[in-house]
Amino acid sequence: MKINVKATNLDLTPSLNIYIEKKLMPLAKFIKRFDIVGEVEIWVEVARTTKHHHKGQVFRAEADLSLPGRILRAEEELPDLRAAIDAVKDKFRLEIKKYKTWTLEKNRHDTSKNRDLK
């Protein structure tokens, strides 16, 4: 799994880049069986929403994960950038779980249809 990171209105420091990879790389074990065609990529954007505000929902983290048949998306705005990244990871975990359930039900439905035709 490859992680592509884009920073908007803030500096992408090496420690922040390492933190993002450390948090999102464990998701690879959940989606490795869907990586049929090629390498799965996650597109992550971290941003500071405004330059003049210092309180409130200042930081934004969003990510897109393209899988066969679906594009999973998670986004979060929080006062702390690392907390926003953690929240995106948790949302992705739930989205991947839903995707697995969807594919299993789809496969069961397709195989039961094939049995009826025989």
Name the residue type at position 53. Answer: H
Lowest mean pLDDT among 7-11, 62-66, 107-111, 114-118: 114-118
Where do the domains of the chain lie?
2-117
CA distance 100 to 106: 10
Return the SS3 of 26.
helix
Q: What average pLDDT does this structure show over 34-60? A: 78
Tens-place pLDDT, residues 52-78: 666 666 899 999 988 877 889 999 999
More reliable by pLDDT, 15 or 27: 15
pLDDT the model gives residue 14: 94
Question: Is a pLDDT exceeding 80 seen at residue 117?
Answer: no
DSSP structure class, residue 69:
T
Q: How far apart are CA 42 and CA 93, in angstroms?
A: 13
Which burial class, exposed, middle or buried, applies to 50 when counting CB atoms under 10 A from its CB (0-12, 13-18, 19+)?
Answer: exposed
Three-class DSSP category at 57: coil
- Chain segment 80-113, per-residue pLDDT in tens: 999 999 999 999 999 888 888 887 777 776 665 5
Report in angstroms the alpha-carbon separations of 96 from 61, 67, 106: 18, 10, 15
pLDDT of residue 44: 94
Instruction: Say how far apart CA 44 and CA 6 lie, in whole Å.
Output: 6
Q: Which CATH superfamily is domain 2-117 in?
A: Ribosome hibernation promotion factor-like (3.30.160.100)
pLDDT tier at 19, thresholds 50, 70, 90: very high
